Amino acid sequence: MASSHGSGNAWRLARSATCNSSIINLLQKQQQSIVDFQLSHGNFQQLVTPMTRRMTAGVSGDGQETFGLVELAQKLPRLEKFALLLPKNFDVFALEDYWSRCSYSTLFQNKQIVSRELMFDGYLPGGFVSAIPHIFSLSHVTRLSLYADNFWYWKPLFSSPELRNLTHFDFHSPDSFDDRKSLDFEDLFTRNQNLQHLSLHMRFLKTVPLEPMLADDGSTITSYIWPLCPRLKSLSLFDLWSVEKRVSYFPSMASLDAICNELGALEQFGLRVAEIGGCLLADGHDRQKYVLGQLKPIGKLKNLKMLHLYQDRLRIIDPDRPRRNVAAETQQLAAMLFQWAHDLCPDLQVLVWGRFTETLDNDVYSLLEDQLEREGSLDTNVNVERIPQQYYVKQVTRVQGEAPHITAVPFSRRRIQNEFPDLDLLACDTSLGTLDRIARDIVY
């Protein structure tokens, strides 16, 4: 599928082996306002104009060793955003061989691709990742978003001295986190003194504490995110191990307390907190009380505007007990949070409950394994409670002579994006696949 959409006109082109020349001519002649398009097939270089500002390119796996980047580099003007999507259905070995032996200085000697934002999504051969500093002008990049499998492929990019002007950094990977990786991130954060937005989603984040630790010699060892303390405004942390093991929680209470003590400039915060009952749907009042207790440290974040709780959306229930209105219970929790935080965090306006992607963890699977193996889904299981992702905005009603009345009003995802354009934490949502990440930005 190839599509293009701009501020004045929008087009969607049917997928085909080639891009019809008459369509290209029509677009060139009639659609001069196109500034943003997505593509995967055809001689798309002809569509690039001086107005082009955002591009999303998908590799189709039909032998495009260069992904068309050499040709694009000669055509593209300065961009707002360049995104490259690579599915796993192409010949990785051929691409790896090509990018490992090609001469970057020859291919891109005349012009690098200049873009304020870079996003790479999918499996990229290590040889290509090593070529990125030669293909793109990294000194112009202010937002870097990586959705990749292998951390070590990206280490040469992280260590590039040209990558020094980041304001946003997103790294989502099923790879495992450890002390060595934390040091590489610390170097990157130290070099990028303007970094204000961090989204880090990996497995086993909890193995590296965020609170200061005491070394054997009596000195204090600080966390890898501490270089960002004076200026970090948006933080999204999610340990992907919790997708498989629900009882794995991060950050710990000690780490959360350290974050709230040290990151005083935080305006947006995404995290997963412990819930009572594990994979079972606990009593609503007990659940609310327990979650609010876990969130007590955020009362120190005086500038907080948005909170996103990456909670699970599947739970086991007793089919013999009356069905509860879980959405109403979550709305009540949101109201209780807004009421409690009103004086402590007066700017807190938005609460999002739940992850975008519905996942099945090991605890639920072990309880429902027989049905899954028999039917392949849980759609008909009366023991499963599905909770949608929910969005709430604080509403304050004031009557003269009375205390303010604070409630939580349900919103849609799109309405949150429209009415709070400065709050971009939803862009860090815990979508686990390329299609999910595309869908979350166009639904609702």
Following CA atoms 320, 322, 326, 331 in sequence, which dihedral angle do they give, to the nearest 10 degrees? -160
Q: Sorting pLDDT into bands at 50, 70 and 90, what band is 374?
A: low
Q: 201 and 267 share a domain?
A: yes
Side chain identity at residue 152, one-letter code: W
Does some domain include residue 10? no
Does some domain include residue 2? no
Does some domain include residue 62? yes
Over 90: is that where the pLDDT of 142 sits?
yes
Q: 120 and 235 share a domain?
A: no
Over 60: is that where the pLDDT of 428 sits?
yes
State the pairing for strand pair 234-239/390-397: unpaired
pLDDT score, position 54: 84
Q: Taking phi first (over 0 means left), then psi (-120 to 50 degrees means alpha), and beta for anything else, what does residue 278 get?
A: left
Q: 290 and 266 share a domain?
A: yes
Dihedral sign from CA coordinates of 331, 332, 334, 335: positive
Distances (CA, A) of 61 to 40, 58, 66, 72: 10, 9, 11, 18
Does some domain include residue 337? yes
**Phi, psi torsion values for 103, nearest 5 degrees:** -100, 105
Does some domain include residue 107? yes
Residue 151 in contact with residue 173, Cβ under 8 Å? yes
CA distance 204 to 187: 20
Q: Sorting pLDDT into bands at 50, 70 and 90, what band is 17?
A: very low
pLDDT tens, residue by residue, 327-342 = 888 899 999 999 999 9
Of 150, 175, 208, the one marking the end of a domain is 150
pLDDT score, position 31: 54
Does some domain include residue 297? yes
Q: How many CA atoms lie within 13 A of 131 on its CB side?
A: 27
Supply the range of the domain harboring residue 296.
166-433
3-state secondary structure the chain: CEEEECCCCEEEECCCCCCCHHHHHHHHHHCCCCCEEEECCCCHHHHCCCCCCEEEEECCCCCCCCCCHHHHHHHCCCEEEEEEEECCCCCHHHHHHHHHHCCHHHHCCCCCECEEEEEEEECCCHHHHHHHHHHECHHHCCEEEEECCCHHHHHHHHCCCCCCCCCEEEEEEEEECCHHHHHHHHHHHHHCCCCCEEEEEEECHHHCCCCCEECCCCCEECCCCHHHCCCCCEEEEEECHHHHCCCCCCCCHHHHHHHHHHCCCCCEEEECCCCCCCCECCCHHHHHHHHHHHCHHHHHCCCCCEEEECCCCEEECCCCCCCCCHHHHHHHHHHHHHHHHCCCCCCCCEEEECCCCCCCCHHHHHHHHHHHHHHCCCCCCCCEEECCCEEEEEEEECCCCCCCEEEEEEECHHHHHHHCCCCCHHHHCCCCCHHHHHHHCCCC
Neighbours of 343 (CB within 10 A): 8
Instruction: Choose between 83 and 407: higher pLDDT.
Output: 407
pLDDT score, position 4: 35
Q: 285 and 173 share a domain?
A: yes
Q: 81 and 123 share a domain?
A: yes
Token readout for 342 is: 């009103």
Q: Please compute the mean of the pLDDT values over residues 245-269 and round it to a whole number.
A: 89
Of 150, 181, 196, the one marking the end of a domain is 150
Q: Sorting pLDDT into bands at 50, 70 and 90, what band is 10?
A: very low
Q: What is the pTM of this model?
A: 0.83
Does some domain include residue 161? no
Over 50: is that where the pLDDT of 171 sits?
yes
CA distance 238 to 380: 30
Does some domain include residue 386? yes
Q: 112 and 200 share a domain?
A: no
CA distance 321 to 86: 47
Q: 140 and 174 share a domain?
A: no
pLDDT score, position 129: 83
Following CA atoms 324, 327, 331, 332 in sequence, which dihedral angle do they give, to the nearest 10 degrees? 10
Say which range, 87-96, 161-170, 287-296, has the weakest mean pLDDT: 87-96
Q: Please compute the mean of the pLDDT values over residues 120-142 and round it to a whole number.
A: 86
Side chain identity at residue 149, one-letter code: D
Q: 214 and 294 share a domain?
A: yes
Q: What is the mean pLDDT of the chain?
A: 79
Of 150, 174, 197, the one marking the end of a domain is 150
Q: Sorting pLDDT into bands at 50, 70 and 90, what band is 85?
A: confident
Residue 3 in contact with residue 33, Cβ under 8 Å? no
Say which range, 108-117, 245-254, 366-375, has the weakest mean pLDDT: 366-375
pLDDT score, position 272: 92
Token readout for 234 is: 């948006």
Residue 3 in contact with residue 57, Cβ under 8 Å? no
Q: Sorting pLDDT into bands at 50, 70 and 90, what band is 288?
A: confident
Q: Please compute the mean of the pLDDT values over residues 423-437 and round it to a whole number.
A: 77
Q: 96 and 176 share a domain?
A: no
Distances (CA, A) of 49 to 54, 83, 329, 347: 11, 17, 52, 42
Say which range, 2-6, 106-110, 296-300, 399-403, has the weakest mean pLDDT: 2-6
Q: 359 and 239 share a domain?
A: yes
Q: 249 and 322 share a domain?
A: yes
Say which range, 20-24, 264-268, 275-279, 375-379, has the weakest mean pLDDT: 20-24
pLDDT score, position 18: 42
Q: Sorting pLDDT into bands at 50, 70 and 90, what band is 230?
A: confident
**Looking at the 3D structure of the chain, how many domains does it have?**
2
pLDDT score, position 110: 67
pLDDT score, position 197: 97
**Per-residue b or e along 249-285, where b marks 16 or more CB atoms closer than 10 Å to that residue's CB:** bbbeeebbbbbbebbebbbbbbbbbbbeeebebeebe
Q: 109 and 228 share a domain?
A: no
Q: Please compute the mean of the pLDDT values over residues 216-221 and round it to a whole number.
A: 71
Instruction: Choose between 372 and 7: higher pLDDT.
Output: 372
